[in-house]
Every structure is written in C-alpha cells, then in structure tokens.
C-alpha cells in the first residue's frame, strides 16, 4: 500500500512507516503525475485537492487532511469518483481557544474590555467553539452561541442548550462585547458562511466591541471590514485568517489590533494530534491495529512556577491569569513577529505581491514551538484556594502546590 505524505505533517513518516510504503513530497510540489501509483494521500490545508490534481490518481482510495478545515478538499468530486476522505476534526481546537483567550486577556490589559463583565458571542459551536466555551466557563466569562445547524440538530433530540450554554441569533451576537468566529468556510447550501459577517453586520459594530476571526478569511466581507476599520467607530479587530491567503491584503495591518499568519491552531499538540488522527484513520483503511500514541511524540516541557498576587481569593484575578497564561501563549508575540516580517521590504527581488505571499507562507512554515496549557506542570503556592486550583486544572494545566 503506497502512502504519500506531505512533509508538513509532523512525525508523519515515524507514525506510518510500519503501516505501508511511505513516501513524502515537499510542501507545494504535488503534481498529478506523483499520484499515479498512490493508494493513500495525506496532506494539510494549503494543498487543494481538485479534479485536476487527481486526473492520474487511478489507484487512490483515501485522502485525508491533518487539519480541522476541509474547504481545500473537493468533497463532491471525491464522492463522485468513490475516493474516501477524512480530516482531523478537532485536532487543534484547544490551540485556537487559547489564541482567543490570549486576545481577551490583552483586551483587558489594554482596558478595551472589562472581561469579568463582558459577554463573548461564539459563532460556530463545533470543536473550536466548544473548546472556547469550556475555557470561558473555567475562567467565569459569560458567553452565548450562534450555530443554527447544531441548534437544529439538538432540537431534534429535545435539547435547547449545548455544553450548558444558550443559543442566540446573529442579531444578538452583534450586540456582544466580543464576537469570535469559529465556522467552516461553506459556500452555498442551507447555512452558508461565505461573507456571513457582511457590510451590514460590520457597520453595526462599535468601538467598544472586539471582533476575532480565527476560522477562515472568507467568512468576513474583507473589503467592508477595511472600510469600517478606516471609519470613526471602528471595532477592535484581531485577524489570524485572511481572504485569498497567502496573497493577503496587508492594507488591513494598519487598522487591525493583532495580526497573525493563520497560526491560531499551530500548537505542537494541535499538529501532532492531527497526525495521530490521520494515522489511526489510515490504519483502519489498511486494516491494521494502531500501536502508536500521542505521548510517544510529545516532549516534556519545563514546569511553570506561579507567584500569584491573590492565591487565597475565591476567584482567579485577571492579573494572575494573565501572568500565568502568557507564559503559555501570548498572541502579541506572534503579532510582533508577523509585523516585523512584513516590514522587511528590501533585500529581495520578488514582486510586491509575491513578497507578501512568500512572507505569509514562510511565517506559517517556520512557526515557533508553541505548547498548550496541558503540556505544563503548574506549581502554585500552598495557600492557593481550591477554586483557583480548579480554574487552572480546567484550563488544562497539571496543577500541584509547592
Ligand atoms: N486558524 C486556525 O488555525 C484554525 C484552526 C482550526 C480550525 N480553523 C477553522 O475553524 C473552523 C471551525 O473549526 P472546528 O474544528 O470548530 O469545526 P467544526 O466542524 O467542529 O465546527 C464548526 C461549527 O460551525 C457550525 N456552523 C456551520 N455553518 C454555520 C453557520 N452558517 N452559522 C453558524 N454556525 C455554523 C457547525 O454546525 C459546527 O458546529 C474550521 O472549519 C476551520 O476552517 C482554523
Ligand atoms: O483548518 C485547520 O486545521 C487550520 O486552519 C490549520 O491551522 C491549518 O493549518 P495548515 O494546514 O495550513 O498548516
């Protein structure tokens, strides 16, 4: 069984070399001829699986992506030619939720938000939306959900809430202090998401609101966003994703608070979990039992020793949360790296458009090592209250008192 893997899949060969004859291809080098004798193809989101790519793939029986998003797979075509397909649903949900938490903590620090009195509107309550809801519940931040397909599916089973949270409509989401987008990019059908955050929605926002997009750029009408951002009552905006990646519109950078190059889900855990998931799927297709685990591939981290200002309080203070959590992930670091990379305009011989696309892609490919809360042992003072210990445990830390 020949398995062709994109070289962006961490530990792909280590996971799969006992399952079949593994070959890798360099990122962005895949052409139809390379698929002539391939049975299984595994890739990530920047490789588009189109009818043209598959023209010679007569043996191909399974395509899988080590990512949550699947809009790069032409599912209609795969179904029509009988090629099975799958994805790593939920692999990086926690990473994205941690990205959003970091943005919220910065908003509190910058006095853009009173976090413990704010409401977060989560658009899309799937794996990422649910992971974010869990984090917000752990920290005690009010939130609500907008997800008509899920709401309808749950209504069929007599449920009106998801994860204990209520559903609202899009008009109510538009009133929230924070709006965080976590839907797939879907064109057409009953619940399209293409530009669902449209001109009218954007023009209704005020300077007291924070809009975060870490799902897909196409979900926002980006031209309308730029025009609103250039206006008087522009909301604060955090963008991890853009229209037309990697050839993005960098004019947005001057108006957006934090910009990052589509890395919200790029924790080590998020990526390796993706590999673990596609490994298990491929084992099933091949008919072999998986015998490798995530823990075989994840290295240990150094512990974090937290000196809390108010360890005995019954509620974790935002300052103490910031002091601990920004050891794990700080979106401002990625914003700075991104802006610095795009600021280097000389020393290359590319056209401006090619320079933007290459810079965006390079930032993603060379992304730093970033771990999730679950990778860290957190040492708290002996007098830390049970409530604060629980909050950190629910955030994923391995908590102990020292
Ligand atoms: N920036 C990143 O690094 C990153 C990482 C992971 C995922 N993503 C993106 O985020 C998306 C969501 O990820 P996920 O893992 O939660 O996916 P998911 O499939 O688990 O959840 C998506 C949710 O959106 C809901 N939904 C679909 N259409 C909707 C609509 N019109 N209005 C409201 N809700 C709708 C679905 O019912 C579902 O509950 C992915 O498809 C991917 O494009 C980005
Ligand atoms: O859909 C996803 O899982 C995310 O957008 C993910 O970050 C994509 O990562 P990529 O394949 O582009 O490295």
| Ligand that lies nearest to the alpha carbon of residue 262, given by its number in the listed order | 1
Q: Which helix (H) or strand (E) holds 380?
A: strand 377-380
- Cα-to-chain-centroid distance, residue 301: 22
Q: Does 39 sit behind a cis peptide bond, omega within 30 degrees of 0 on the bond before it?
A: no
Q: Where are the beta strands (DSSP E) in 168-253?
A: 178-181, 210-213, 236-239
Which structure tokens are listed for 304?
A: 């974090």
Helices (H), 287-330: 318-328
**394 is a catalytic site residue:** no
ipTM greater than cut 0.90? yes
Summarize pLDDT for 71-128 with one digit per residue, the tens.
999 999 999 999 999 999 999 999 999 999 999 999 999 999 999 999 999 999 999 9
Query: How far, in Å, from the CA of 29 to the mean position of ligand 1?
Result: 28
Do 69 and 46 contact (CB within 8 A), yes or no?
no
Query: How far, in Å, from the CA of 182 to the mean position of ligand 1?
Result: 5
Ligand 1 atom closest to the CA of 263, numbered from 1: 3
Do 272 and 297 contact (CB within 8 A), yes or no?
yes
Q: Where are the beta strands (DSSP E) in 277-324?
A: 304-305
CA distances from 171 to 112, 175, 202, 204, 307 (A): 22, 7, 12, 10, 42
Q: Which helix (H) or strand (E) holds 103?
A: helix 93-109
Only one residue has tokens 């979106």, namely 331
Protein residues with CB under 6 Å of any ligand 1 atom: 68-69, 89-90, 92-93, 96, 123-129, 146-150, 182-186, 191, 193, 196, 214-216, 240-241, 262, 264-265
Quick check: helix, strand or coil at residue 351? coil
Which structure tokens are listed for 320?
A: 């103490």
Pocket test for ligand 1, best of 66, 128, 130, 262 (most atoms within 8 A of CB): 128
Report, as ranges of residue numbers, the positions in the chain whose pLDDT lies below 70: 345-347
Cβ within 8 Å of residue 333, ≥6 positions away = none
How many helices and strands (H and E) does the chain possess? 13, 16
- Cα-to-chain-centroid distance, residue 264: 4
Which structure tokens are listed for 366?
A: 């060379």
Residue nearest to atom 39 of ligand 1 (CA): 126
Hey, what domains does the chain have and what are their CATH numbers?
Answer: 2-87+268-296 (3.40.50.720), 93-259 (3.40.50.720), 304-401 (3.30.1370.170)
Query: How far, in Å, from the CA of 45 to the mean position of ligand 2?
Result: 5
Quick check: helix, strand or coil at residue 229? helix
Query: What is residue 348's predicted lDDT score, i.e. its pLDDT?
Result: 73
Question: 145: which strand partners?
Answer: 122, 167
Q: Which of 216, 266, 364, 370 is catalytic?
A: 216
Predicted TM-score (pTM) above 0.80: yes
The number of beta carbons lying within 10 Å of the beta carbon of residue 289 is 7
Ligand 1 atom closest to the CA of 196, numbered from 1: 31
Euclidean distance between CA atoms 240 and 334, whole angstroms: 10
Which structure tokens are listed for 201?
A: 């929605």
Tell me 298's DSSP state.
Answer: P
**245 is a catalytic site residue:** yes
């Amino acid at each position: 069984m020949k398995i062709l893997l994109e070289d962006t899949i961490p530990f792909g060969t280590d996971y799969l070399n006992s399952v079949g004859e593994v070959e890798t291809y360099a990122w962005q080098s895949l052409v139809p001829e390379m698929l002539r004798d391939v049975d299984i193809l595994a890739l990530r989101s920047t490789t588009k699986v189109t009818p043209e790519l598959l023209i010679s793939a007569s043996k191909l029986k399974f395509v899988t992506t080590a990512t949550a998003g699947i809009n790069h797979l032409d599912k209609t075509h795969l179904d029509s030619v009988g090629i099975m397909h799958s994805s790593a649903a939920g692999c990086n949900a926690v990473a994205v939720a941690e990205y959003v938490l970091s943005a919220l903590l910065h908003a509190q620090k910058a006095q853009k938000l009173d976090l413990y009195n704010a409401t977060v509107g989560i658009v899309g309550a799937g794996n990422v939306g649910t992971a974010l809801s869990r984090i917000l519940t752990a920290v005690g931040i009010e939130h609500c959900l907008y997800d008509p397909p899920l709401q309808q599916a749950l209504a069929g089973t007599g449920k009106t809430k998801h994860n204990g949270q209520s559903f609202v409509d899009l008009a109510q989401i538009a009133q929230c202090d924070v709006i965080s987008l976590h839907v797939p990019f879907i064109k057409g059908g009953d619940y399209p998401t293409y530009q669902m955050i449209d001109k009218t929605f954007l023009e209704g926002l005020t300077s007291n609101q924070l809009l975060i997009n870490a799902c897909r750029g196409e979900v926002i009408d980006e031209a309308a966003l730029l025009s609103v951002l250039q206006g008087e009552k522009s909301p604060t905006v955090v963008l991890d994703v853009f229209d037309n990646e990697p050839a993005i519109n960098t004019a947005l950078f001057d108006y957006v608070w934090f910009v990052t190059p589509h890395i919200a889900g790029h924790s080590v855990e998020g990526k390796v979990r993706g590999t673990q998931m596609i490994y298990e799927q491929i084992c099933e297709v091949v008919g072999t039992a998986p015998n490798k685990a995530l823990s075989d591939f994840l290295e240990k981290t150094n512990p974090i020793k937290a000196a809390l200002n108010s360890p005995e309080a019954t509620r974790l203070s935002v300052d103490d949360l910031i002091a601990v959590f920004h050891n794990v992930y700080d979106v401002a670091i990625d914003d700075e790296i991104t802006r610095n990379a795009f600021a280097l305009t000389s020393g290359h011989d590319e056209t401006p458009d090619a320079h933007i696309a290459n810079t965006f892609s390079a930032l993603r490919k060379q992304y730093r090592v970033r771990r999730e809360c679950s990778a860290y042992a957190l040492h708290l003072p002996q007098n830390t209250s049970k409530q604060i210990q629980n909050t950190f445990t629910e955030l994923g830390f391995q908590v102990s008192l020292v």
